[in-house]
Structure 1
């Protein structure tokens, strides 16, 4: 019976994945509030509905106007968001209700990244120069927070963080002494240390990361991690195979050459296949060639044949798919069904970041308190 149960669960996930990918390929439509009913539906039930409905972002009421660039999706029911004015929210019912769990006294902080292990444990990153860059951790769903790191180097500016598992994680700062600085934890974010920079390539003049979506530093598997850059003559993606001790840098095809241009986010579905997105975040500037793909872990990047039509800051692979992914930005959401080679716009709402879970809990977050779930 146990084997049969596992087979049924696997089949429901496969059916749901096929339905979501196929339905997303249909002409986009505005989702209605009735779509929120899918929050309690099983994957198999969603798959059945998917054959007759168009999925889209279903807005949830967060009760705030904070801009959320930090997003951690745990599953279809549980997600955390972090943003401006020191705001952290959590839902455990699929977005029907959001609870404010902001750290006390954090109103002056800008949270740009959050990583959650479950509904109780999360680590949040505040960005900025000097002591504005901080890391806080909760073990009780946000009821209490502990500050585990405060930057004391005025030259450092932390942008993103990532975790390989519930214990090992990294955070990255813009270059200090000519190299990107990496912070490491081995106890789930309770304690941090700066890693030696001997294995980090020299930064280009003006090179930095973008704290735009929490995706300028991402990991896949137990040791692989990628860091994205912009602002310099060439936008690069740096890769480490040993949890940040040594790095190799590869030019991307996404244009740079300006402080507002470069690679803003990256997502890997395994340690070899990745998608990078970016462009120029200024609304009055075009962003040609705003996406690129790799099939060798980032050693080489190829320009997308049909990139998103505008700047994109966040990207996520659809669960259990080898070819489908979503990219989001202030002017809309784009879908690829061929691993990032071609994209088309499926929604025009403004979102800064996106994250998906293995049970098809895809979430997006952005300005004016916008948080949405992918539903039918």
Structure 2
């Protein structure tokens, strides 16, 4: 396992992070023995970054991970999140305190390394492209999320703070440039590379306008999410084991799972050399960006952990493959003339 710096935090993280969310599902729907074995195996492979959230399984992910960590007592970097709803906006500070205290209880810990906002961010409610978002002023304002996060950090409950880079691109850029946060989770994959590459105006995926580069310019850590596009890059629509049985859901505006599957079918040229499956190609692609700190992968089996971990240290995708990718993006996956 190779390791990278987590922005300016001073922490060193594994290139592959253990995502404890719903898509992989192991830490939500697996049994305790399987979860212990999976985490233990990941640790043996060098994975030291674990990411969870209260909304994963309605608290089940945090609860299960807490039991496993209590049993194994490993030295890891642990991140969780907070979702701020419209009803919380009158007293964000109290909402943050309550949510974090509940998370710590589930995780059986006195503190976590990283606390992240899990709510999409918009410039305002009139122009937003994302439902259930909160406005920029509720994040950076005097009584906003950033100050509320600083309050729990001053209590020693968290070490570093971040946010999930979903919502309106321009608002996300402003939050990244604010200097208030240490880390950002970024949506970035082979089907929508716009957080790291320039895409044409007619590109059908939501345009994050090179958000990774904005974060890097501020010295922020970047953790990649949805590297498999919610499963569309997994090679099949069928969900097996503990993976989420629900397909078709995306977390970005305008996303369509079936359309993503069609696009992924055009990526067979990436399978060459020591990359023999699309999930590995997806991870290797994300790791090619030097400013990426870690790539979060959700797991439903031990085999998936092995395959993901094996991507660390692999050679970058060949330049000819990257050129083919750029041609696909420039033609919106062959729906526009070159």
Q: Scaled by the length of structure 1, what TM-score is found?
A: 0.30
- Greater relative contact order (Cα 8 A, min sep 6): structure 1 or 2? 2
Q: If each structure's helix is expressed as a fraction of its own residues, which one has the higher value?
A: 2
Which structure shows the higher strand fraction? 1
